[in-house]
Amino acid sequence: MRPVFRHSSRHSLALYRYCLPFRQPLMFKGKWLASREGLAVFINGQWGEIAPLPGFSLETLAEAEAESLACMAALKRGEKVSPALASVQFGFDCAQRSWPASLAVLEPPYPLLQGAPAELMASLSATHWQTSPPTRLKLKVARYAMEEELALIEQLGERLPTTKLILDANSGWTREEAQRFCERLTLEQIDYLEEPCAAFTDTIAVAEATGVAIALDETLSRQEKWYCHPQLRALVIKPTLIGSLSACEALVQRARACHLRVVISSSFESDLGLGLLARLACEWAPNEPPGLDTGNWLTEHVMNPVGEVKTDSLHRLY
């Protein structure tokens, strides 16, 4: 994935808004979304994306748009800008970054499964995975009845015995619920469980009680305290939610100091944002498959096949 990020416009500063439909409505923190909305920012030859994710980002798109417009006006006046909102920090950092001249070849992303367990099992029957199973598969959990999700995991183990599962609970359980779930797992089948509980202390307690390996995700985005632990295996870094690229790099360095895996992960950005995240993954974690398999859920793109942002199809704000 090596986007060119060309710009067909004459403007050295520009801000656009996009709205891309999902293939089917998706649930985020209990709310259904039919489309993904965000902003594309262009600064002196480079692009960034600003896409707060409802239910996960602290800011709304309207707030991100207002701050982005203020920052663009400040840049026009020749001032330096320091956005306060995470999504705006990410977009402006990417659009003003000194990118490496060459990048490592990135491992292919692992597939993402989310949806009703019964529907997922029906769709699995139609895939090629039986003949060419992925080494890892990510599955969203803590969204449907626990018994249904456990039955799906058991069937995945039977159909894909060589595939390790990454389970992502998005902080959806209490400590008791998470422990009850993990006690039913075949741990050899699980690569790790992301964020079973909202509190880090609860997540660690579940890991110690059940032996499950864990990874942190929302804890990092919320900038909450955490520490190294023998059952902590990975940091799942979502730059568009964390914001500042220097803050992301600090997490990468801390992960290396703790001998943790680093997974660069997406938050349902457009193909522009996914391309930027892929470049960061090449730089920060080239040997770890990234969590960037969210583009398949979008029916439209903001870039054309030669790497140009299709500005004519976007709404220009600045």
The whole-number average pLDDT for the span 102-125 is 82
Tell me: do 182 and 86 sit in the same domain. Answer: no
Q: Is the pLDDT of residue 2 over 50?
A: no
Tell me: do 126 and 242 sit in the same domain. Answer: yes
Tell me: do 231 and 201 sit in the same domain. Answer: yes
Q: Is the pLDDT of residue 159 over 90?
A: no
Q: What's the rounded Cα separation, in Å, for the pair 67 and 48?
A: 15
Q: What's the rounded Cα separation, in Å, for the pair 15 and 314?
A: 10
Residue 2 lies in a domain: no
Name the amino acid, one letter, at 158: E
As annotated, the binding site includes: 168, 194, 217
Q: What's the rounded Cα separation, in Å, for the pair 23 and 31?
A: 16
Higher-confidence residue of 125 and 115: namely 115
Q: What's the rounded Cα separation, in Å, for the pair 112 and 310?
A: 27
**Which one, of 301, 280, 312, 311, lies nearest residue 41 by Cα?**
311
Q: Which of 29, 76, 238, 310 is catalytic?
A: 238
Residue 169 lies in a domain: yes
As annotated, the binding site for Mg(2+) includes: 168, 194, 217
Tell me: do 145 and 73 sit in the same domain. Answer: no
Q: Which residues contact 38 (CB under 8 A, 6 or more apart)?
A: 17, 18, 49, 50, 51, 52, 61, 269, 270, 273
Q: Is the pLDDT of residue 1 over 50?
A: no
Residue 238: active-site member: yes
Least confident of 73-77, 174-178, 294-298: 294-298
Q: What's the total number of domains in the chain? A: 2
Q: Which of 31, 76, 138, 140 is catalytic?
A: 140
Residue 31: active-site member: no
Residue 106 lies in a domain: no
Tell me: do 84 and 229 sit in the same domain. Answer: no
Residue 142 lies in a domain: yes
Structure confidence by residue, pLDDT tens digits, 13-31: 999 999 999 999 988 888 8
In the prediction, which pLDDT does 127 show?
63
